[in-house]
Structure 1
Amino acid sequence: MILTQCAVCATELGLSLGKKCGRCSTRYCGAACQVQHWKEGGHDQLCRKIKKAGGAEQYNANQKYTNAVAAAAEACAEDTKGQTCYICTQALHWKTKEGLVRMCACRGTAGFAHVSCLAEQAKILVAEAVENNLGAKTKNARWHRWYTCSLCEQHYHGVVYCALGWACWKTYVGRPETDSFRQCAMSVLGSGLSDADHLEDALSVREAELAMRRRLGDRESNILAVQSNLAATYRSLGRFEEALQMKRDGYTGHLNLYGTEHRETLIEANNYAASLLDLQRFAEAKTLLRKTMPVSRRVLGESDDTTLHMRLTYAMALYKDSTATLDDLNEAVNTLEEIERIARRVFGGAHPDVANIEKVLQDARAVLRARETGLAEALADMRV
């Protein structure tokens, strides 16, 4: 996680409380912990090294990045055997000696790369856009390279996303807090941590980012985006009531700001519906999705990931409801079979979204079979 705690006693400091080492900026809750760290915690040996690396936050980011790259390469080792990086054309990175990763929607021999190469490519593309003043749309597209594959145009996932999150954060962490790229890098890091299921670390980053943006008086759209990410982390941690309240407010905020047909509004509609499902409020979820799902299919298309996620949530609202009719269960299974085919074609069979749809489809089929068996038995009993 980013450094929001005292280095000695782990007291929560947010982004602004406590004091820092005058040389390396290591953070403490007060003078007592700072003295203890120097005398007993080994800081006297590390202080100069941390300063040379760029300060405590940079030093921490560098270490976390190195560990995350190693974890990503290890997780992808079986998939990447005998392959080479499509950027540098080498199997092992010439400098870091790191292995290859993939974890996007590329298939066959496409998409293999080193995290270092992906990070350097994203860094260069963003810098060129700024230097040549290429406009907001181009800058935004290039920024997406920090977490989106340039070949298949799909997001990285799992530990690869996490490694790229740390790569992004270590690239921009040395900039002023008001720098937009530093702020966006914090968001990428939070998403990467969350995607790799480092949920407590992701929560720390999300909460720190929201506090920072509020303190700096950021735009409403940016604050809404961070609130949405924070709500998703609450949900992943099982804090469903907190997630629901924030998702409801986020959906209303996006609706007022962007209107009914904007991608962000549709994403928030699905997120709100998913939170309703967590609390078994199926009727409300179905009502919301029946209103917003046709809009997503028309505006974004059948193959868009937002549309697929929305239809998945709707199918779950159908078959998980204890009051579901046989028609509801059949509709749920038919919907899941259709989106499974689309997702497999778009993302490939190894993508976690495809695996999740397959699991939900198995559950829905089991519920349908149980209902059909029960009806058959009931009819048999009636005939006796």
Structure 2
Amino acid sequence: MILTQCAVCATELGLSLGKKCGRCSTRYCGPECQKQHWEGGGHDKLCKKIKRAGGAEQYYADTKYSEAVTVAAEACADDTKGQTCFICTQALHWKTKEGLVRGCSCRGTAGFAHVACLAEQAKILCDEAEENNLDMKVFNERWRRWHTCGLCEQEYHGVVCCALGWACWKTYVGRPETDQPRLAAMTQLGNGLSAVGRHEDALSAREAELSMKRRVGAPEHQVLIAQGNLACTYDDLGRVAEVLSLRQEVYSGTLKLHGEEHYDTLREAYNYASSLMILSRFEEAKSLLRKMIPVARRFLGESHDLTLHMNKVYAVALFEDDGSTLEDLREAVATLEDATQTARRVFGAAHPLVVTFDCALEASRATLRARETPSGK
């Protein structure tokens, strides 16, 4: 996570409280903890090493990146056995000696890579955009390489997403707070931590991201994105009341800023509908999705993952609502059958998204069978 706690007692310091080691910038709540860390916590031996690595935040990011890469390579070992990186063409990375990963929708012999190679590729593309003063649309397209496979064009998931989140953060953490790639890297880190269920760590990253964007006067759309990311983590942590109010605020703000036909608006409509579902506010969720799904189909296409997610939530709202009619249940099954078939074609049967669709489809069919079968027969 982004360092927001005392290194000794873990007191929450936010982004500005407490004090730092004058040499390496390790953070403490006060002089007592700093003295304890130096005299009995081993900091006297690590301080110079941390400083040479670029300071406490950089040292921590580098360490966590290495750990995340090891976890990702081990998790992908069975799938990557006997393969080579599509970027450097080697089985082991020449410098880091790390193994291969694949956490996208590539199948067969495609998509195997080293996290280090993926990170270097993304960095080079983004550096070129900055150096040549290319417009923001081009930069954003290149930034996608930090989270999306350049071959199958689908986002990385699970441990690979986490490793790339740390790779992105360690690449840009040394830049000034107002630097756009550094702010975007905080988002990627939070996404990566969420992808492996480290929600408390993700919360620290999300809160730091929102606080920093507000402090440096980031554009409104960036603040809205940070609020949306924070709402996702509140959701993961079960903080339902906070989620819904924030979701409604972000959706309204994004709709006003961008209009309906914009990816951010569609994403926040989906997120708001999902939050309504948690509170069993099915009619509101269905009303919103009936309005926005046609926009998603027109703007993003039937096979886009966000369109598929919206269809799934709409179908679940149909069959989980106690007031649904038989016609509603049949619509839910038909919607999920189409969406699941499309998802399996686009992402492959083993993709986590497809697994959730299969479960929803099975549940919808069971609900329909129970309604269609007379009681006692």
TM-score higher than 0.5 here?
A: yes
Q: Aligned ranges for residues 308-319 of structure 1 at < 5 Å?
A: 308-319=308-319
| Distance in 2 separating the partners of 1:218 and 1:120 | 27
CA displacement, residues 244-286 of structure 1 (integer Å, 9 cap, x when unaligned):
1110001100111011221211111111000000011111111
Give the 5 Å matches for 1:203-222: 203-222=203-222
User: How far, CA to CA, are the matches of 2:282 and 2:166 in structure 1?
Assistant: 38
> What SS class does the counterpart of residue 375 from structure 2 fall into?
helix
**1:364 aligned partner:** 364
1:161-240 correspondence to structure 2 within 5 Å? 161-240=161-240
- Structure 2: runs of 5+ lacking an equivalent: none
d(CA) in 1 for partners of 2:83, 2:121 = 19
Number of the residue aligned with 1:89? 89
What amino acid is the match of 1:95? K
* SS in structure 2 at match of 1:303: coil
Amino acid at match of 1:151: L
What are the equivalent positions in structure 2 for 1:318-357 lying under 5 Å apart? Answer: 318-357=318-357
**Structure 2 equivalent of residue 38 of structure 1:** 38
CA RMSD of aligned residues (A): 1.0
So what's the TM-score if we normalise by structure 1? 0.96
Distance 1:300 1:175 in 2: 34
The CA deviation at 1:66 is 0.3
SS of residue in 2 equivalent to 1:301 = coil
Q: How does 1:254-269 map to 2 (within 5 A)?
A: 254-269=254-269
Residue of structure 2 in register with 1:22 after alignment: 22
Distance between the aligned counterparts of 1:298 and 1:54, measured in 2? 48
**By how many angstroms is 1:85 displaced?**
0.3
How many angstroms does 1:339 deviate by?
A: 0.3
Match of 2:135? 135
How far does residue 337 in structure 1 lie from its aligned partner after superposition? 0.6
Instruction: Give the TM-score, by structure 2 length.
Output: 0.98
| Percentage of identical aligned residues | 67
> Could you tell me which residue of structure 2 aligns to residue 116 of structure 1?
116
> What SS class does the counterpart of residue 192 from structure 1 fall into?
helix
The aligned residue for residue 377 of structure 1 is 375
> Could you tell me how far apart the structure 2 residues matched to 1:295 and 1:126 are?
31
Secondary structure of 1:377's match? coil
Question: Structure 1, residues 170-219: CA drift from partner, whole Å, max 9, x if none?
Answer: 01101111111111111110111111111111111000110111111211
Q: Which residue of 2 aligns with 1:104?
A: 104
Distance in 2, matches of 1:186 and 1:352, equals 24
Deviation at 1:135, TM superposition (A): 2.0
Question: Following superposition of structure 1 onto structure 2, how do residues 6-21 of structure 1 map, counting pairs within 5 Å?
Answer: 6-21=6-21
Partners of 1:36 and 1:121 in 2: CA distance: 42
Cα distance, 1:238 vs. partner? 1.2
Q: Which residue of structure 1 lines up, in the alignment, with residue 158 of structure 2?
A: 158
| 1:242 alignment counterpart | 242
The whole-number CA distance in structure 1 between the counterparts of 2:239 and 2:366 is 28
SS of equivalent to 1:229: helix
Distance in 1 (alpha carbons) for counterparts of 2:375 and 2:134:
68
Q: How does 1:68-83 map to 2 (within 5 A)?
A: 68-83=68-83
